[in-house]
Amino acid sequence: MSLAVRGIDHVEVFVRDIQAAARWYREVLGLVERYRWDPEPLMIGAGDTMLALFQARPDAAPARSGEGGSSLRWHRVAWRIDEAGFKAAQKHLARLGIPFRGPVDHRHSRSIYFHDPDRHPLEITYYP
Protein backbone atom coordinates (compact mmCIF):
# COMPACT_ATOMS: atom_id res chain seq x y z
CA MET A 1 0.00 0.00 0.00
CA SER A 2 1.31 3.45 -0.90
CA LEU A 3 0.71 6.67 0.97
CA ALA A 4 -2.13 8.82 -0.39
CA VAL A 5 -2.91 12.04 1.51
CA ARG A 6 -6.41 13.50 1.27
CA GLY A 7 -5.56 17.22 1.37
CA ILE A 8 -4.07 19.94 3.53
CA ASP A 9 -5.45 19.94 7.07
CA HIS A 10 -3.81 23.12 8.32
CA VAL A 11 -0.97 25.58 7.83
CA GLU A 12 0.76 26.93 10.96
CA VAL A 13 1.10 30.71 11.05
CA PHE A 14 2.94 32.82 13.63
CA VAL A 15 1.18 36.17 14.24
CA ARG A 16 1.75 39.14 16.54
CA ASP A 17 -1.78 39.04 18.01
CA ILE A 18 -3.84 35.83 17.72
CA GLN A 19 -7.22 37.45 18.41
CA ALA A 20 -6.57 40.36 16.02
CA ALA A 21 -5.43 37.92 13.31
CA ALA A 22 -8.54 35.75 13.82
CA ARG A 23 -10.76 38.85 13.47
CA TRP A 24 -8.93 39.95 10.31
CA TYR A 25 -9.20 36.53 8.68
CA ARG A 26 -12.90 36.32 9.60
CA GLU A 27 -13.63 39.81 8.19
CA VAL A 28 -11.50 39.46 5.06
CA LEU A 29 -11.79 35.76 4.11
CA GLY A 30 -14.71 34.54 6.19
CA LEU A 31 -12.60 32.02 8.13
CA VAL A 32 -14.33 30.78 11.27
CA GLU A 33 -12.98 29.41 14.54
CA ARG A 34 -12.89 25.61 14.61
CA TYR A 35 -10.82 24.64 17.66
CA ARG A 36 -8.93 26.39 20.41
CA TRP A 37 -6.14 25.00 22.55
CA ASP A 38 -5.02 26.68 25.74
CA PRO A 39 -3.22 28.96 25.13
CA GLU A 40 -2.60 28.20 21.43
CA PRO A 41 -3.08 27.49 18.61
CA LEU A 42 -6.38 28.92 17.54
CA MET A 43 -7.63 26.95 14.52
CA ILE A 44 -9.61 28.93 11.94
CA GLY A 45 -10.73 27.74 8.55
CA ALA A 46 -12.98 27.35 5.55
CA GLY A 47 -14.07 24.03 4.09
CA ASP A 48 -11.56 21.36 5.02
CA THR A 49 -8.58 23.75 5.28
CA MET A 50 -7.49 25.53 8.43
CA LEU A 51 -4.87 27.96 9.65
CA ALA A 52 -3.35 27.29 13.07
CA LEU A 53 -2.60 30.69 14.60
CA PHE A 54 0.37 30.68 16.99
CA GLN A 55 1.70 33.59 19.03
CA ALA A 56 4.97 34.93 17.61
CA ARG A 57 7.70 36.01 20.00
CA PRO A 58 7.76 39.78 20.66
CA ASP A 59 11.13 40.04 18.86
CA ALA A 60 9.98 38.07 15.79
CA ALA A 61 11.18 39.51 12.50
CA PRO A 62 8.44 40.61 10.08
CA ALA A 63 7.40 38.14 7.38
CA ARG A 64 9.55 38.59 4.31
CA SER A 65 7.81 39.21 1.04
CA GLY A 66 9.00 38.84 -2.49
CA GLU A 67 8.48 36.65 -5.50
CA GLY A 68 12.01 35.35 -5.90
CA GLY A 69 13.22 31.98 -4.74
CA SER A 70 16.12 33.44 -2.76
CA SER A 71 15.38 31.24 0.25
CA LEU A 72 13.91 27.80 0.80
CA ARG A 73 10.57 28.38 2.52
CA TRP A 74 6.82 28.22 2.05
CA HIS A 75 5.77 31.29 0.14
CA ARG A 76 2.00 31.91 0.30
CA VAL A 77 -1.35 30.36 1.05
CA ALA A 78 -3.78 30.38 -1.88
CA TRP A 79 -7.52 30.17 -1.24
CA ARG A 80 -9.73 28.72 -3.99
CA ILE A 81 -12.99 30.44 -4.91
CA ASP A 82 -15.48 30.42 -7.80
CA GLU A 83 -15.64 33.11 -10.50
CA ALA A 84 -18.43 35.12 -8.84
CA GLY A 85 -16.56 35.00 -5.53
CA PHE A 86 -13.35 36.07 -7.29
CA LYS A 87 -15.03 39.22 -8.63
CA ALA A 88 -16.65 39.90 -5.24
CA ALA A 89 -13.31 39.39 -3.45
CA GLN A 90 -11.71 42.21 -5.42
CA LYS A 91 -14.51 44.61 -4.47
CA HIS A 92 -14.40 43.38 -0.85
CA LEU A 93 -10.63 43.94 -0.52
CA ALA A 94 -10.91 47.39 -2.14
CA ARG A 95 -13.79 48.32 0.20
CA LEU A 96 -11.65 47.25 3.19
CA GLY A 97 -8.69 49.28 1.90
CA ILE A 98 -6.52 46.19 1.47
CA PRO A 99 -4.16 46.66 -1.49
CA PHE A 100 -3.88 43.73 -3.87
CA ARG A 101 -2.11 42.89 -7.11
CA GLY A 102 -4.07 41.53 -10.01
CA PRO A 103 -6.11 39.99 -11.30
CA VAL A 104 -3.32 37.98 -12.90
CA ASP A 105 -4.18 35.61 -15.76
CA HIS A 106 -2.18 32.38 -15.43
CA ARG A 107 -3.92 30.75 -18.45
CA HIS A 108 -5.38 27.94 -16.33
CA SER A 109 -6.30 30.13 -13.37
CA ARG A 110 -6.83 33.74 -12.29
CA SER A 111 -5.39 35.15 -9.06
CA ILE A 112 -5.16 38.21 -6.87
CA TYR A 113 -2.36 38.68 -4.34
CA PHE A 114 -2.28 40.55 -1.02
CA HIS A 115 -0.90 40.38 2.55
CA ASP A 116 -2.36 39.96 6.01
CA PRO A 117 -1.48 42.51 8.74
CA ASP A 118 1.64 40.46 9.67
CA ARG A 119 2.77 40.56 6.00
CA HIS A 120 2.05 36.88 5.25
CA PRO A 121 1.48 36.57 1.49
CA LEU A 122 -1.99 35.41 0.46
CA GLU A 123 -3.73 34.60 -2.81
CA ILE A 124 -7.31 34.15 -3.93
CA THR A 125 -7.60 32.07 -7.08
CA TYR A 126 -10.19 30.46 -9.32
CA TYR A 127 -10.08 28.10 -12.27
CA PRO A 128 -12.35 29.15 -15.16
CATH at 37: 3.10.180.10
CA distance 30 to 81: 12
Q: How many domains does the chain have?
A: 2
- pLDDT grade, residue 5 (50/70/90)? confident
Instruction: Verify that 122 and 91 share a domain, yes or no.
Output: yes
Instruction: Kindly state whether residue 85 falls inside one of the protein's structural domains.
Output: yes
Instruction: Kindly state whether residue 12 falls inside one of the protein's structural domains.
Output: yes
Tell me which residue range forms the domain holding 110.
76-128
Instruction: Verify that 52 and 83 share a domain, yes or no.
Output: no
Instruction: Kindly state whether residue 19 falls inside one of the protein's structural domains.
Output: yes
Instruction: Kindly state whether residue 29 falls inside one of the protein's structural domains.
Output: yes
Residues for the chain: how many in total?
A: 128
Q: Is this prediction's pTM over 0.85? A: yes
- Report the pLDDT value the prediction gives residue 94, as an integer from 0 to 100: 98
- Cα–Cα separations (whole angstroms), residue 53 to 18, 42, 81, 90: 6, 5, 22, 25
Range scoring the smallest mean pLDDT among 49-53, 61-65, 79-83:
61-65
Residue range 68-116, pLDDT digits in tens: 656 667 789 999 999 999 999 999 999 999 999 999 999 999 999 999 9
- Report the pLDDT value the prediction gives residue 67, as an integer from 0 to 100: 60
